[in-house]
Amino acid sequence: MEALYPLRFHPIFLEKIWGGEKIQTVLGKDFSPLPNCGESWEISGVPGKVSVVANGPFQGRKLTELMVLFGPELLGRRILNQYGMEFPLLLKILDAAEDLSIQVHPDDTLARTRHNSLGKTEMWYILDADPGATLISGFNQEVNEQLYLQKLESGKLYDILNVEEVAAGDCFYLPAGRVHTIGKGLMLAEIQQSSDVTYRIYDFDRVDDQGNKRELHTEQALAALDYHHYPTYRQAYQQALNQPVELAKGPYFTTNWLKIDQATSRNLASKDTFVMLVVVEGSVEIAHHAEPLRLQKGETALIPASEADYTLVPLTPSVTILEAYCSE
């Protein structure tokens, strides 16, 4: 059996009613013959959308196959004990040419009860933003179910939603239960629990090419929503060079921001987890005894738990990377 190594996967491209072209025009990913691409699933174990290896001896093998073959070497024994053969995280790139629906995701308890699924806590890192682009994260005041329904039914939901103007480099952490939407003109990297459960609250009365409106989940959303108002919704972080900066940390995943201009060693072996990398700017080589792996902007990799002591070598004057793994 071949040994494990840093893995690249073929993106899974999804056309969306709100999808755009930046995944191709900005990141160079060819999603033809689709007319647009709203989502590029980069690392996924979700049934029906399982990632397939694109490099090295395991090219053509599914992520779930490697999980069976290697178990703790790939996932980390801690992760295997916690999640079994359910890959716990999902990494996507999203491009919104139009606003997404206003929506919310259930937590673990609700998702298990209703859908036999993990909940969906997620984070967003803005890769590209048109001038004036906005997103919604949370409420702008304390809300209860009665006020929420009153605003929803009267067509004035925006009155109570927190709207944020954003730019490339901004980061948002969205626990399950937080009302949200991605606004038009935004492309972002999304790191989340491995779940595809979404409750659509409002969809701007859009219709598909058959003239049909998409289903709304008004009743399901009521028990999922967190009605509280929070002082801030944007993740604050101070950029630094050649050392990791924590972007977001919750019970499910930790994400670091890393800008380097020299070879930088990362030793995460003690965390006993796989690591996911996303290149935000520039190009990088992941040094490895088998074969170095080169990544450019928008490309991603999975570092197996057994290989979590690795070195990043910039191929451009500097490179910026997101590094995500399962929290301890």
Compute the residue count for the chain: 328
Cβ burial, residue 7 (10 Å; 0-12/13-18/19+): buried
Quote the distance between the C-alpha of residue 282 and its chain's center. 20
Residue 39's φ and ψ, nearest 5 degrees, are: -140, 135
- Cβ 199 vs Cβ 103: under 8 Å: yes
Residue 6 to residues 21, 131, 162, 229, 285, Cα–Cα distance (Å): 28, 36, 39, 41, 11
Q: What is the DSSP string of 292-314?
A: -EEEETT-EEEE-GGG-EEEEEE
Options 78, 200, 206, 266, the catalytic residue: 200
Measured torsion, CA atoms of residues 50, 265, 260, 130, in degrees rounded to the nearest 10: 20
- Cβ 4 vs Cβ 70: under 8 Å: yes
Residue 49: name the closest of 189, 195, 176 by CA: 195
Q: Is 200 a catalytic residue?
A: yes
Looking up tokens 């890769």 gives 127
Residue 213 to residues 203, 205, 206, 207, Cα–Cα distance (Å): 8, 7, 6, 4
Supply the residues annotated as catalytic. Answer: 200
